[in-house]
């Protein structure tokens, strides 16, 4: 979401201003923040301190994003920025831009793969999560606006569009649409992109029959990010996730039945209060059984305002770290095995970037592929690639 809002602001300002990433020389400084975990908050505060020290005296600092919303007063007091708050909607970003420049005109930024938010906020209130407090309740972008924006991006040269939101599966519920999620993907898939994907799903709200319907979308990027969080039913309940490990497994099985090569990734947290050794082992067992293609793994940290903010930790920092390292070790082996199973196979890659004659892009299920001997002209093209190597992040291939 933040990548999109920063890009949007950039596209509005670039018509009159030029960009620098050196805070010492900027007239206007935009800092787009996150507050999902404690570590991120610390990083941002030290960055804000640095910017405040080196910036020009007359430079205006804008702090936007989740941390700016949740910890507004503190940021105002400590750093005295020009503007602070969430500012995640296009209209709000347009207002910021027109307060800086006279005639705001949206420049086309060419991105082979681009994001498009279709739903903002979250209604779920998982007991560890700050997002509903930072981003508010769910609000879907009307279908016609989604299509208009998708066409704008298509005409700017975008070849792959990823529809984003905290919970894309809830798309349209507030607009009275029963199956808005499938409807919006189908409509966008007809705009002309090579590929259309979506991110992030909530396992609780993913209807199994939607997966059957997806089969009829020929240009669907079969990339499913399904955050598990924990493999223990006890912990899932404490987290208020609304599904069990059995339900989650059923969802993954359905995805694999319809899309055998789908890339299934997840998020997992360790050390949630109440997570005992046997709960953690439930997570490990499920991870081994499911074999995710990739996982993003974290140590639980308390977030202000959440239901668990005042619940004491029951797992020490050291134990959290041990669990995290063990989980990463298990998952990395699985990722490597699954990625290496592509060696010798031919895949179709949409080339997104070229650097030092190496191309980078994704195959049609979303795995990142690095390709040898690619030129600038190949950017934005679909090319056939034979995979000869893999690590835990990427496949490596040569064009055939
Ligand atoms: N502590 C640790 N990880 C968290 N996440 C969300 N909230 C927390 C928290 N309080 C993780 C979840 C989520 C991902 C974006 O960040 O795994 O899916
Ligand atoms: Fe946070 Fe849960 Fe909403 Fe995801 S579904 S954004 S984890 S509250």
236: Cβ–Cβ under 8 A, 6 or more apart, which residues? 229, 230, 243, 244, 245
The pTM (predicted TM-score) of the whole model is 0.95
Ordered alpha helix ranges (H), 81-173? 90-100, 131-135, 143-155
Predicted confidence at residue 106, as pLDDT, reads: 87
**Residue 203 above 90 pLDDT?**
yes
Q: Mean pLDDT over all residues of the chain?
A: 97
d(C-alpha 33, C-alpha 51), whole Å: 14
Ligand 1 centroid – CA 267 distance (Å)? 8
Short-list 248, 233, 316, 324, CA closest to 282: 233
State if residue 303 touches ligand 1 by the CB under 6 angstroms criterion. Answer: yes
The answer to whether the CB of 221 falls within 8 A of the CB of 262 is no
* Dist. CA 209–CA 128, nearest whole Å: 30
pLDDT band of residue 19 (cuts 50, 70, 90) is very high
- pLDDT at position 39 over 90: yes
CA distance 213 to 202: 18
Residue among 34, 117, 125 whose CB has most ligand 2 atoms within 8 A, to mutate: 125
110 pLDDT higher than 90: no
Is the CB of 129 inside a 6 Å radius of any atom of ligand 2? yes
Distance, in Å, from the CA atom of 14 to the CA atom of 19, rounded to the nearest integer, reads 7
Pick the atom of ligand 1 nearest to 128's CA: 10
291, 334 Cβ separation under 8 angstroms: yes
Distance of CA 13 to the CA centre of its chain: 24
Q: Note the pLDDT tens digit of each residue in 225-234.
A: 999 999 999 9
| pLDDT tens sequence across 309-368 | 999 999 999 999 999 999 999 999 999 999 999 999 999 999 999 999 999 999 999 999
Residue among 226, 236, 269, 309 whose CB has most ligand 1 atoms within 8 A, to mutate: 269
């Amino acid at each position: 979401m933040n990548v999109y809002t920063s890009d949007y602001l950039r596209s509005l300002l670039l018509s009159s201003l030029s960009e620098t990433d050196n805070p010492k020389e900027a007239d206007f400084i935009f800092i787009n923040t996150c507050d999902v975990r404690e570590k991120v908050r610390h990083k941002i505060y030290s960055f804000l301190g640095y910017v405040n020290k080196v910036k020009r005296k007359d430079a205006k600092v804008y702090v936007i994003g989740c941390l700016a919303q949740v910890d507004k007063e503190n940021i105002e007091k400590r750093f005295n920025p020009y503007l602070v708050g969430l500012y995640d909607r296009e209209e709000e970003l347009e207002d910021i831009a027109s307060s800086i420049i006279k005639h705001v005109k949206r420049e086309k930024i060419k991105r082979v793969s681009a994001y498009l938010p279709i739903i903002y906020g979250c209604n779920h209130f998982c007991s560890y999560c700050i997002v509903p407090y930072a981003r508010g309740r769910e609000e879907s972008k009307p279908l016609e606006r989604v299509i208009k924006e998708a066409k704008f991006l298509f005409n700017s040269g975008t070849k792959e569009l990823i529809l984003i939101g905290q919970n894309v599966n809830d798309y349209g519920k507030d607009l009275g649409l029963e199956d808005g999620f499938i409807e919006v993907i189908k409509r966008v898939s007809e705009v002309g992109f090579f590929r259309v994907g979506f991110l992030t799903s909530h396992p609780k709200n993913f209807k199994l029959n939607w997966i059957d319907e997806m089969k009829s979308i020929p240009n669907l990027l079969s990339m499913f990010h399904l955050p598990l969080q924990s493999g223990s039913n006890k912990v899932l309940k404490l987290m208020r996730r609304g599904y069990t490990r059995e339900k989650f497994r059923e969802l993954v099985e359905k995805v694999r039945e319809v899309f055998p090569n789908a890339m299934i990734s997840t998020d997992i947290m360790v050390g949630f209060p109440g997570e005992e050794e046997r709960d953690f082992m439930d997570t490990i067992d499920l991870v081994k059984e499911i074999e995710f293609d990739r996982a993003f793994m974290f140590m639980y940290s308390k977030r202000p305002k959440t239901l668990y903010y005042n619940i004491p930790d029951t797992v020490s920092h050291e134990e959290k770290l041990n669990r995290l390292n063990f989980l990463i070790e298990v998952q990395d082996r699985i990722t490597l095995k699954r990625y290496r199973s592509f060696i010798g196979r031919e895949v179709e890659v949409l080339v997104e970037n070229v650097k030092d004659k190496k191309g980078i892009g994704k195959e049609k299920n979303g795995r990142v592929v690095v390709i040898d001997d690619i030129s600038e002209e190949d950017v934005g093209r679909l090319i056939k690639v034979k995979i000869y190597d893999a690590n835990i992040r990427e496949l490596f291939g040569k064009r055939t």
